[in-house]
Structure 1
Amino acid sequence: MPGFDLNIAKEMVESFAAASGLGCRLLDDQGNILSQAGLTDDECTYLRSLPGQAPVCRDLHAHGLHEAQRFGGRYIYSCAAGFAYCSSPILTEGVFAGGLVAGPVIISDIEDCMDDIILQWDLPAQRVRALYLFLSSIPQVATDRLRHLSNQLFAAAVYISDSSYAFFLNHSGYRQQCDIGEYVQQAKGLQGDVTYPIETEQAMLAAVSQGDSTTASALLNELLGHIFFLSRDATAVQTYVTELVVLLSRAAINGGVAVEQAMEISHRYLQEIKSLTAQEEVASCLNRALTRFADLVFELLGTKHKNVIREAIGYMSAHCARALPLAEVADYVGYSPSHFSKVFKEEMGCGFRAYLNQLRVERSRVLLLSSNLSISEICERCGFEDPSYHCKVFKKLIGVTPDKYRKQSRRIDAQLEYGG
């Protein structure tokens, strides 16, 4: 017996099939079908009727569910005939108890799918028309839509599972696997050969050398998604990951970390990675190494931040009268946008946008008192694109609207001039 409510699970299978237009199966932890809906034709039965070696669909879907558990709860895969499926595991008390499988779908043209099946099974000409009719009954789905459907299937699996799923969803390692799994699926959807994204690697190393662990970690997950997709075995993964550790240590040295310290940390993580076999363990270890290197750089850069923020404020003051995106100021001081935003808030106690509004409001106060420009003209000269937003921000910071502020100030001036 499954460790989850079978009636609720069957209801979710029927609901998903009705809403998506796809077939949906509920499997136990051995890959046996417990329930299914939305399947007008059994593709596995049809394929087994073809000459040659029959595909073992049960093993395929069981493997797909285990891969989904490894990669954050979602996995898209293909069978021998080229049909695509998506799967999500069901957990009870943190243990794999079965899962949902949606499909089949065709993500290429029917003609291409026909050619592959005819070639693979050496199908005689008299069976081609029957094959076409069978393939016409299978939904054709674009890759992007299949990813969205995979997310919906995942939500259904979480609903069926017990509360232990919440632990995995909030666990940092599990979230990392979600991100990596998403990049694996994106790589599968790319047309043509998938190549290693060297630009992403360079951006990650640049983030480490700036002490920006948040940006670097996100880019690392993208790299790992490609590495796991491109690598055929554990040895290939080890080769990629070992090189990344060395590159991370060099990036830390470029950021100011002492060579001896960087080499010692690099050696320690390389030794740990050699003892690991599971991809999720390797990914977690590599992320810890990256965070360690980036944090060391960040600590060293702490004394430099004050000068950088001083330069940024000077630039903002000089250019606040026009549209001024955060990315432009970050580029001016040589930081990535995300890193600059983080450092600015830590040093100034408020965000970039809030401080920019303070500069603009102060500028508008001066113009309200020293000129006869209209409120709308002052709004434009102070960098506010919308008068209503200018009024809202001004009132929030000063306590009154721009118009009322000007009238009050002029009344006070008049009283002083004529002695009250």
Structure 2
Amino acid sequence: MGDNQHVREMVTRAVQQALEAESHRTVPARDEAASQLVAHPPLWPLVSQAALVRTDEEVASLWARNWRPADAVRAVRRAWQATETAMAVDLIAAEARRYPAAAFDRRWHEQLRELDASVWWGRDRDYLAAFAQRHRLDRFATASKLIAVLQLWRWLPRLGPVGPLPGQEQAVDLSAPLPGEPKMLGRIRALLAKAESTDFPEEAEALSAKAQELMARHSIDAALLSARSGRAETPAAIRIGIDNPYEQPKALLLDAVATANRCRAVWDKHNGHCTVVGFDPDLDAVELLYTSLLVQATTAMNHAPVQHRSRTRAFRKSFLIAYAERIRHRLTAAARSVVAAEPADLLPVLASRDAAVADETRKLFPRTRTGRALRADDPLGWAHGLAAADAANLGTSRQLRHP
């Protein structure tokens, strides 16, 4: 009992000193904390156990500042290397054990699953040793990476809310999916994955068209159900990562997809993500479609004819800008044609939902500003980007449908 108490106090003191450093990259503070953690090798299992207890507090603090699992891991990946990123996922998995499964909303569960955030190490006493063995690290390097992750997380700013916190009580979960939605989303993901991987354009076209039809039907049904039932549905928000390189053209593509799906996108360059505001079915459509189009764009760009300029940064940037602009035009035209074909009683519903999304965006981001237009400097890249966008699979028979 004496050793346990001593180790807990030592870990708490060492971590706190490191977290009070003037920057998340303050090396002396990190090295000093790591040295304290590894000073007594026989106590290493107790250090591991105490460290996970202490890191739970830092992870919970992130959630209180409106970060979500994917955001927290993305921040580590942008600042550090793969090993620190793996540790960040482990620390999130360890903290998630504090809650029952019902404490998380649907998107929180999805992020944990996509991160593969699971407790793989058995006893907490064995975690640091198991991590060191898995990543071929010594004890000091392992402790140093632990402190580096915690230092970074401590310095992250407060973000706007994009959903309930773990375990947060809600009288009514307005962002809850309709019955059967998770199964349908899984089907849509599978269809888009096949569309991205197939070598046969006709097959990709059919798969993408079916995926778009499912998204559109769900979106229309949700809008009409809300209007006819009188249910007080409100917009929600999600964050989508925008990673380097070429983050500006990628943000431009996401804005094009969001706008076409009656959502608003706000880019946070410093933290590497866009917040997309809209109604829940439309947010699902934006996330899935943006991911698929980005994969298609990257594939097309990498398969452009091998020429001297096709390998330059200017070519790739111009390619993606042109791709985003052409996709915007295609989606906007498709949306207008679909709305024109819908019953007249849908138009007031659309106007009401558009106004609600605009109001929610202003509430979350009262001080946004419009970015400058991006400049494409490579004509060859621009031409190839337009061609790739024209060939992108959006579905031809019915195109995108919107509520």
State the TM-score, normalizing by the size of structure 1: 0.27
Of structures 1 and 2, the larger Rg is shown by: 1
Determine which structure has greater relative contact order: mean sequence separation of CA pairs < 8 Å that are 6+ residues apart, divided by chain length: 2
